[in-house]
């Protein structure tokens, strides 16, 4: 296992996961990226390399990133048999992506059909130090034979985009141990030059061969002896006419200058070391979250153009064909914040791309009959709209796509990205040279797009699509209208800033954009009178006009589905329902919390406003199969509402979207928005970072249960700050160090506890989660009899003392304990667990209300009268059966049992799951347990814990009682309050 959470490891190749793993193992360097296909190839693979900015025209979708020549191809013939995972037998297999160094490696122990066994170790990288340089290495070791091995390192002269041809071969050539290609795109005429050479540690000749047009490669043949390792290196250089005038010559010259792999590796590693020094997020106590955040940041960093300000990051990065390499609002809203605070030069490149494409935005506005600059919903190389107007639906019929026509909020999203970069960096030169013009000319567009409604005495924006794309052709979308208000105010402020600090630039733009006093007054009038559907009495914001009149669908009816609600109901039916594809009003509240403008919709102190809208819109959102843009935002806002467990669930949904393919579409490419969204969830959600005029600060951390440390760096106005949050005994300590000056700001336990923890009486308990066996009833005798019968049948000594050692363990863990750690085949384990359970179920059939333990029924009645929610949190898989036999099922609001979670006590999962079902935060729940493992699980979940049993059984329960006899809710509540324990998540390692 990778204990340092730096490696994504695959230990078995599954052809059914071929395309998902191609996405998963994508490597790149900010100039290009290559999907994780195999060097030797595989039937049905999507061998793909995309280079930033290399687009070509195509019908329907206007233009698309072009699949470039496959540089990986390496055919290996072992004693006359071609190596392939589809042939022979794979004896051992491991593929590993080293996130720290950006190296993809693969180890295969393969036996050919003829019986020859060979060990192959592949390694590839796209150099971060030299973005035009690529390399793949292969070490070959015969295990049980000596024989001839042949290697052919070729280049694919005719790559295609899933059947669509884009390249024309212009020239090709071979010389000694190298070969090269010169191609150009059929429509855009962008040229590409690629060259390769092969070296080998064996004493053998390496020759290049051109058999026919487009079929060239570099070959070698040698005799390998048993146990001898021969290493081959295929080096590749690639350039396009976007960088140089003669890309083929430049590629060949660059290839000739290559020195050695060790030199390349050192330079490549040095860049990665520097990047991770600035960008790494350290999470201790949660291996999955640690690996996931690093994986997301890795994929973002290899897609980010570090040396080119005329390209941007597409919705699927450079890793897949979905969305054709087009750029959306994903970049400015989800990705730019991460880069602005860690790699500001790269963030500037992405925003300069929008500046260079202003003319395209102006053309779009003019063609639609408006003034100023109107950014396209989907953008490519020119800034013109490239959203397809029609696509073919699942039924084979054409479907009209309206986003390119009326999803207008992207124009303000770009301005917002510019503003956020400026706030983070204080980059005055760039702002006056490029950023100001973006904000001002897009404001000109909005000034011409709004409509005055005389009857309502206000401005409106009609016929749009907001972030929630389930609803088209809506009027007065709250997100769009409120962001336009902000845009008008910000544009006026930016012009004022220019007039004071750069008067000549202000005059230039006033003339160029016709920024007359009348126009500026119009902007002010719009900001003051643009309609936002906000009810000040209830605090509820209506997503768009008429939204509350739509059919209110209960999404819980569709639990267990594996596709989106729109796919189930259809576009029109979904449009008529209150079903959200992604947060819309909640997205607005998230962006507004970052703004300095104190208005009713920008006051982050008004938690009631957020809670009201969260309670309404979150349950109407398709979290699982709607948009991947939503979960990270929900995670942040859940933290704002002190719903840490719920925040963690949303966070993991975003963080694992590609690693675990949670939406079933990772084969289409990396979810770019999630890569940046997960970072924002950690920094602005769990860490509680807020942006102030003097810089970022930690306001209220919400570290998930189990997170013992969170460490990251932020860059603010040229100064680098390290944030270190540690959780110890439920108290979070925050240290902030200015790395440039060495100055340390430490916020100690006492002060932070005062900030984070209200008094007990201010945070009343709202739920009680009972363990079942030993707490509400005593079925331990039946369990003992079941285990005893199984043990006797298996010939294992078992008595009541042995049974006591299994208290609180799951059925599986109990069985493993029973066998003393002896390895048991999975099938046998399952069979024995089923046998034991059948014995237990037979024994408990006579259970009734009379078997409730003393004090249980009165306590349940008191809880019910007090409005306290009740749940079962048990490792048992018979919880539903037992509560039914006891006659208390009607009093139970939720049951979380052995079927509900994968990890059992002492992991906190079963209690967190129960709290989630109750709709409560962990701090609002009390766990009642009779087992040490259960008490530990409750503490790890960040809940109050009442232990039933001897004191020595419980290390840290807040209250310990012998049992529930004569134990009233009032007594328990008083005992908990008397402990004065701070109810914060307690990390259990």
Residues 649/916, Cβ–Cβ less than 8 Å: yes
pLDDT-based confidence at residue 754 (cuts at 50, 70, 90): very low
Structure tokens belonging to residue 791: 């043990």
- The catalytic residue positions are 469
Cβ-defined contacts of 713-716 (< 8 Å, 24+): 713/277, 713/278, 713/279, 713/280, 713/342, 713/739, 714/341, 714/342, 714/683, 714/689, 715/278, 715/341, 715/342, 715/344, 715/424, 715/425, 716/341, 716/424
pLDDT digits (tens, 9 = 90+) for 305-354: 999 999 999 999 999 999 999 999 999 999 999 999 999 999 999 999 99
- What would the mean pLDDT of 725-751 be, rounded to a whole number? 76
- Render 125-138 in DSSP notation, one character per residue: EE-SSSTTEEEEEE
Bridge partners, residue 193, by sequence:
182, 239
Report strand pairing: 767-770 vs 925-929.
parallel
pLDDT-based confidence at residue 8 (cuts at 50, 70, 90): very high
φ/ψ (deg, to 5) at 927: -100, 135
Q: What DSSP character marks residue 470?
A: T
pLDDT value at residue 198: 95
Neighbours of 625 (CB within 10 A): 20
**Sequence-ordered strand ranges (E) for 628-772:** 689-692, 695-698, 709-716, 719-728, 731-738, 744-747, 767-770
| Lowest-confidence region among 478-492, 747-761, 810-824 | 747-761
Q: What DSSP character marks residue 891?
A: G
Question: CA end-to-end span of the chain, whole Å?
Answer: 18
- Render 238-268 in DSSP notation, one character per residue: EEETTT-S-HHHHHHHHHHT---HHHHHHHH
Tokens 């939204």 correspond to 547
Residues 49/28, Cβ–Cβ less than 8 Å: no
pLDDT-based confidence at residue 3 (cuts at 50, 70, 90): low
φ/ψ (deg, to 5) at 191: -100, 150
- Given a cut of 80, is residue 155 above it in pLDDT? yes
**SS3 state at 29:** coil
pLDDT digits (tens, 9 = 90+) for 758-786: 323 334 689 999 999 889 998 877 888 88
Cα gap 964→203, rounded to integer Å: 82
Residues 589/638, Cβ–Cβ less than 8 Å: no
Peptide bond before 280: cis, by omega within 30 degrees of 0? no
pLDDT digits (tens, 9 = 90+) for 692-731: 777 788 988 999 999 999 999 999 999 999 999 998 877 8
Structure tokens belonging to residue 565: 């609600």
């Amino acid at each position: 296992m990778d204990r340092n959470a730096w490696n994504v490891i695959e230990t078995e190749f599954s052809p059914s996961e071929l395309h998902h793993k191609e996405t998963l193992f994508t490597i790149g360097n900010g100039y290009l990226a290559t999907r994780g296909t195999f060097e030797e190839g595989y039937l049905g693979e999507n061998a793909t390399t995309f280079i930033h900015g290399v687009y070509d025209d195509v019908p329907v979708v206007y233009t698309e990133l072009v699949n470039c020549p496959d540089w990986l191809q390496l055919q290996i013939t072992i004693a006359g048999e071609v190596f392939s995972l589809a042939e022979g037998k794979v004896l051992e297999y491991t593929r590993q992506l080293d996130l720290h160094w950006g190296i993809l490696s693969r180890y295969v122990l393969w036996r050919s059909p003829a019986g020859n066994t060979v060990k192959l170790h592949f390694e590839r990288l796209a150099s971060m130090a030299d973005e035009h340089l690529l390399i793949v290495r292969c070490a070959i070791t015969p295990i049980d034979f000596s024989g001839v091995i042949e290697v052919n390192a070729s280049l694919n002269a005719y790559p295609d985009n899933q059947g669509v041809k884009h390249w024309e071969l212009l020239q090709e050539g071979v010389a000694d141990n190298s070969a090269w290609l010169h191609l150009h795109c059929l429509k855009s005429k962008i040229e590409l030059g690629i060259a390769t050479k092969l070296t080998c540690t064996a004493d053998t000749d390496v020759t290049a061969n051109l058999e026919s047009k487009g079929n060239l490669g570099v070959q070698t043949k040698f005799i390998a002896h048993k146990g001898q390792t021969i290493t081959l290196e295929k080096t590749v250089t690639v350039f396009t006419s976007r960088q140089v005038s003669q890309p083929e010559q430049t590629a060949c010259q660059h290839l000739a200058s290559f020195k050695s792999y060790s030199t390349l590796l050192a330079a490549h590693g040095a860049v990665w070391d520097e990047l991770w020094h600035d960008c790494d997020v350290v999470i201790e106590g949660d291996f999955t979250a640690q690996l996931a955040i690093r994986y997301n940041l890795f994929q973002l960093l290899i897609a980010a153009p570090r040396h080119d300000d005329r390209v941007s990051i597409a919705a699927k990065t450079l890793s897949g064909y979905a969305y054709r390499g087009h750029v959306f609002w994903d970049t400015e809203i989800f990705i730019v914040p991460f880069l602005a605070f860690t790699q500001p030069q790269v963030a500037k490149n992405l925003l300069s791309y929008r500046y260079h494409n202003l003319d395209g935005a102006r053309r779009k506005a003019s063609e639609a009959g408006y003034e100023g600059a109107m950014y396209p919903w989907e953008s490519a190389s020119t800034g013109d709209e490239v959203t397809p107007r029609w696509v073919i639906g699942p039924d084979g019929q054409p479907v009209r796509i309206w986003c390119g026509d009326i999803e207008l909020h992207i124009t303000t999203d770009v301005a917002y990205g510019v503003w956020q970069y400026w706030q983070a960096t204080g980059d005055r030169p760039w702002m006056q040279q490029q950023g100001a013009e973006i904000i001002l000319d897009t404001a000109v567009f909005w000034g011409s797009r709004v409509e005055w409604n005389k009857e309502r005495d206000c401005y409106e924006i009609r016929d749009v699509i907001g972030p929630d794309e389930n609803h088209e052709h809506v009027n007065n979308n709250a997100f769009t209208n409120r962001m336009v208000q902000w845009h008008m105010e910000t544009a006026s402020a930016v012009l004022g800033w220019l007039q004071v600090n750069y008067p000549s630039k202000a005059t230039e733009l006033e003339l160029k954009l016709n920024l007359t006093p009348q126009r500026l007054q119009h902007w002010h009038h719009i900001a003051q009178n643009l309609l936002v559907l906000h009810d000040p009495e209830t605090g509820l914001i209506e997503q768009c006009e008429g939204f509350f009149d739509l059919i209110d669908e209960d999404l819980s009816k569709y639990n267990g589905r594996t596709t989106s609600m729109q796919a189930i109901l259809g576009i029109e039916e979904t449009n008529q329902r209150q079903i959200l594809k992604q947060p819309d009003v909640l997205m607005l509240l998230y962006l507004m919390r970052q703004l300095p403008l104190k208005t009713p919709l920008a006051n982050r102190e008004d938690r009631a406003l957020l809670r009201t809208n969260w309670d309404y819109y979150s349950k109407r959102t398709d979290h699982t199969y709607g948009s991947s843009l939503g979960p990270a935002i929900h995670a942040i806002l859940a933290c704002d509402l002190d719903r840490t467990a719920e925040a963690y669930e949303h966070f993991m949904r975003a963080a694992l979207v590609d690693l675990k393919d949670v939406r079933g579409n990772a084969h289409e490419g990396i979810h770019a928005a999630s890569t940046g969204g997960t970072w924002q969830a950690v920094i602005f959600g769990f860490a509680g970072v807020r942006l102030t005029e003097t810089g970022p600060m930690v306001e209220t951390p919400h570290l998930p249960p189990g997170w013992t440390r969170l460490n990251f760096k932020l860059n603010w106005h040229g100064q680098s700050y390290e944030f270190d949050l540690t959780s110890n005994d439920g108290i979070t300590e925050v240290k902030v160090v200015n790395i440039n000056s060495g100055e340390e700001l430490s916020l100690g336990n006492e002060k932070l506890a005062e900030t984070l923890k209200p008094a007990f009486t201010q945070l009343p308990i709202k739920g009680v989660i009972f363990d079942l066996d030993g707490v509400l009833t005593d079925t331990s005798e039946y369990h003992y009899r079941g285990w005893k019968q199984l043990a006797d049948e298996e010939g294992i000594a078992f008595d009541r003392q042995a049974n006591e050692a299994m208290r609180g363990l799951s059925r599986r863990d109990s069985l493993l304990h029973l066998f003393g750690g002896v390895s048991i085949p999975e099938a046998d384990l399952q069979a024995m667990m089923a046998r034991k359970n059948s014995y237990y179920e037979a024994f408990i059939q006579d259970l009734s209300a009379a078997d409730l333990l003393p004090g249980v029924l009165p306590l349940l009645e008191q809880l019910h009268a007090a409005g306290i929610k009740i749940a079962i949190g048990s490792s048992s898989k018979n919880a539903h059966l037992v509560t039914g036999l006891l006659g208390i099922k009607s009093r139970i609001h939720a049951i979380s049992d052995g079927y509900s979670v994968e990890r059992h006590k002492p992991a906190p999962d079963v209690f967190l799951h129960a709290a989630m079902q109750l709709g409560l935060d962990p701090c609002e729940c009390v766990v009642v347990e009779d087992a040490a493992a259960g008490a530990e699980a409750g503490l790890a979940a960040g809940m109050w814990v009442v232990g039933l049993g001897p004191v020595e059984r419980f290390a840290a329960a807040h209250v310990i009682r012998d049992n529930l006899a004569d134990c009233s809710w009032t007594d328990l509540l008083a005992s908990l309050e008397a402990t004065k324990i701070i109810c914060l998540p307690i990390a259990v390692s």
